[in-house]
Amino acid sequence: MQTIENSQIQEKIYTQKLSNGIKLIIIPKKTQKKYIIWGIKYGSIDHRFKVNEKEIQVPDGIAHYMEHKLFEQENGTNSLDVLSSLGVNANAYTTNNHTAYLFEDNNNKFFEALDEFMNYVQNPYFTVENVEKERGIIEQEIMMYDDYPDWKVYMNAIKAMYHNNPINIDVAGTKETIAEITKDKLYETYHAFYTPDNMAIVVCGDFEPEQVIQEIEKRMTLKNTNQTVKRLYEEEPEQIVKKREEAKMNISMPLFMIGYKDEITCENQIKKDLALDILFNILIGDSSELYQSLYEEGLLQSEPTFIYENSKTYSHILIQGQSEKYDQVIQKIETGIETLKKNGIQDDVFDRIKKKLYGEYVKSYNDVGAVATSFIQNYFREINPLDYFEEFKNLDKSYTMQILNDVFKPEKQVVSIVKSK
């Protein structure tokens, strides 16, 4: 067992490679809540891959479909129902690059719930009948997201940026692609990716590390395999697909999203994350001059949302907001970016925002769910979240200006609008 300490926030993290190779991360916290998240490095973009040199293509949406189906057990029970009956809050989610299963316990039922939790993740039960039964449920979910304005404005921005990268495909797939999912394809995909070397488990709460290791080991049945799996991705051009995409929906207030397609390579990803956070706060955060001006003019009612997504195959930033006069707001944001490039960042503004963000990072460690989720997401990015606190020391105005000029390029910008019918 290895120990990682951070004296700045007085956190101690324990890591252990289990006997089958799974990485276990334990974050002790003196709190009533206990939280576990089991992550698999398999997401919606992994639809083409090789297993021992055999090339396989699976239907879009299969990662999300599998997340739904794992809860169904051979004895006729649903693991979500079993966990709920114990009083724990269980859930799962699928993203572009990973899938996760989790639960939170407030009733001292953690190890009792762990029996069901570890059983269903390790023992898939797919049949012709239960796979077919799920199809209608997921079709309804796809239709629901099609009617969700925030999802529409996001997906249209992604499609305007990416030509071939499968990030431009809905995580849940389409009605046509999920019609191709069978129990055999689910088993084939499960055995390709649900392997110890492709997983990590994070536990956060009031635990003794040795006890957690022992309890998880004795419930672990997954074995190592000798297979080699290689993900296959389509080549993606640097340029965007189109400058603008618009849609009409039944909404009261139009949505806008400004996106910038970014370069994938980065020498120091943590430092770049922090620089982009600072830039967003300086540009259009709730304390910025631009936001105050837009708010007073009635052009914005709330602070826009900032999203930065990146992996080894894609990278982009997104700014989303609501406004009746969205083109006016977009133009003012664009002007604000170019003005900041020209005039630079004021020292006092940079220092104030940097201190503010540092405080928010420290505060986030009080939430066991947020901490555990951050560790699982960053594990698959090959990042230790504790390193963010060290990088705060190294982050300066010069580097932040470099990121501003490198990322916010007009020729890499897209605009997505969802307006009222």
Please indicate, yes or no, if residue 390 is contained in any of the structural domains. Answer: yes
State whether 209 and 299 are in the same domain: no
Which of 197, 231, 265 is at the close of a domain?
231
State whether 73 and 222 are in the same domain: yes
Place of tokens 């993606």: 236
Cα torsion at 13, 271, 373, 369 (round to 10°)?
70
State whether 217 and 275 are in the same domain: no
* 71: its two tokens: 């809860």
Tens-level pLDDT at each residue, the chain (421 residues): 898 888 778 889 999 999 999 999 999 999 999 999 999 999 999 999 999 989 999 999 999 999 999 999 999 999 999 999 999 999 999 999 999 999 999 999 999 999 999 999 999 999 999 999 999 999 999 999 889 999 999 999 999 999 999 999 999 999 999 999 999 999 999 999 999 999 999 999 999 999 999 999 999 999 988 899 999 999 999 999 999 999 999 999 999 999 999 999 888 999 999 999 999 999 999 999 999 999 999 999 899 999 999 999 999 999 999 999 999 999 999 999 999 999 999 999 999 999 999 999 999 899 999 999 999 999 999 999 999 998 998 899 999 999 999 999 999 999 999 999 8
pLDDT at residue 9, rounded to an integer: 80
pLDDT at residue 204, rounded to an integer: 97
Q: How many domains, in total, are found in the chain?
A: 2
Please indicate, yes or no, if residue 340 is contained in any of the structural domains. Answer: yes
State whether 66 and 190 are in the same domain: yes
Please indicate, yes or no, if residue 239 is contained in any of the structural domains. Answer: no
Cα distance between residue 233 and residue 46, in whole Å: 8
Cα distance between residue 230 and residue 381, in whole Å: 17
State whether 306 and 179 are in the same domain: no
Cα distance between residue 375 and residue 387, in whole Å: 11
State whether 223 and 353 are in the same domain: no
Please say whether the beta carbons of 35 and 372 come within 8 A. yes
State whether 149 and 99 are in the same domain: yes
Range of 221's domain? 2-231
Contacts 24+ apart (CB under 8 A), 405-413: 405/341, 406/263, 407/260, 407/262, 407/276, 407/317, 408/260, 408/337, 408/341, 409/260, 410/334, 411/239, 411/240, 412/239, 412/240, 412/260, 412/261, 412/262, 413/240, 413/243, 413/258, 413/259, 413/260, 413/334
State whether 268 and 213 are in the same domain: no
**What's the Rg (C-alpha) of the chain?**
23
State whether 138 and 83 are in the same domain: yes
Contacts of 33 (CB under 8 A, 6+ apart): 104, 105, 106, 205, 368, 369
Please indicate, yes or no, if residue 376 is contained in any of the structural domains. Answer: yes
pLDDT at residue 226, rounded to an integer: 84
Q: What are the percentages of helix, strand and coil residues in the chain, rounded to 5?
A: 45, 20, 35
* 318: its two tokens: 């997104």
Please indicate, yes or no, if residue 238 is contained in any of the structural domains. Answer: no
State whether 88 and 126 are in the same domain: yes
Partners of 71 in beta bridges? none
Please indicate, yes or no, if residue 374 is contained in any of the structural domains. Answer: yes
Please say whether the beta carbons of 164 and 17 come within 8 A. no
Tally Cβ neighbours within 10 Å of residue 105: 23
Please say whether the beta carbons of 116 and 182 come within 8 A. no
State whether 209 and 332 are in the same domain: no
State whether 259 and 383 are in the same domain: yes
Which of 231, 263, 283 is at the close of a domain?
231
Please say whether the beta carbons of 31 and 104 come within 8 A. no
> Which positions are catalytic?
67
CATH number, position 395: 3.30.830.10
Partners of 40 in beta bridges? 99, 199
Which of 231, 258, 277 is at the close of a domain?
231
Place of tokens 């420290």: 362
Which three-class secondary structure state does DSSP give residue 351? helix
